[in-house]
């Protein structure tokens, strides 16, 4: 199973989601799942923001070695499921690979029946750490639903 997280710059939100899911799967000894992330508008090889590193360290997760990568048709094709942070990311993914529609989900709405006025996880880039922490809380909720889904669909 290959899971891809997508945001804009691949330096904040998708890094948090990737790092968190990898950590949880490692703790559950689920080594058969590959977790990746990419950005719809990024340069390759950039590190995560300082705030992302700090928020992840507070979770006991080290993402200092992360290097950004742009979203490519190959990444979309190879992923079994793709989780994006905002609706416009979904649009960008589908513009790259229209046939991927069934495997692309907004992280916040995946298996979430609660009504919400805004299904997007806003970009924290350039904002104070408390905004990154709020972003992480939303991402954590989504990742926990993914973990539940993976547990239900063990192969």
H-run or E-run covering 104 = strand 104-106
Task: Report d(CA 18, CA 63) in Å as an integer.
Answer: 9
Kindly state the helix (H) or strand (E) to which residue 39 belongs, with its residue range: strand 34-39
Answer whether 65's CB lies under 8 Å from 32's CB. Answer: no
Residue from 12, 13, 84, 90 carrying the catalytic annotation:
13
Torsion (CA) 104, 47, 24, 114 in degrees, nearest 10: -40
Q: Reply yes or no on whether 123 is catalytic.
A: yes
Other CB atoms within 10 Å distance of the CB of residue 37: 27
Task: Determine which one of 30, 123, 129, 145 is catalytic.
Answer: 123
3-state secondary structure of 82: strand
CB-based contact 36:5 (threshold 8 Å): yes
**Residue 99 is among the residues annotated as catalytic for this protein:** no
- Catalytic annotation on 90? no
Write down the catalytic residue from 7, 12, 84, 135.
7
Catalytic positions: 7, 13, 123
């Amino acid at each position: 199973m290959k899971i891809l997280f997508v945001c804009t710059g691949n330096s904040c939100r998708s890094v948090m989601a990737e790092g968190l899911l990898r950590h949880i799967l490692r703790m559950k000894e689920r080594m058969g799942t590959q977790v990746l992330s990419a950005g719809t508008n990024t340069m390759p090889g950039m590190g995560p923001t300082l705030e992302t590193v700090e928020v992840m360290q507070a979770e006991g997760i080290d993402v200092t070695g992360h290097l950004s990568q742009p979203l490519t048709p190959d990444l979309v094709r190879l992923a079994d499921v793709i989780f994006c942070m905002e609706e416009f990311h979904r649009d960008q993914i589908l513009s790259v690979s229209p046939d991927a529609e069934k495997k692309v989900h907004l992280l916040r709405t995946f298996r979430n029946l609660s009504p919400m006025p805004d299904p997007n996880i806003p970009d924290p880039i350039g904002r104070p750490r408390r905004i990154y922490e709020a972003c992480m809380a939303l991402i954590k909720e989504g990742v926990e639903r993914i973990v539940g889904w993976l547990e239900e669909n063990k192969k």
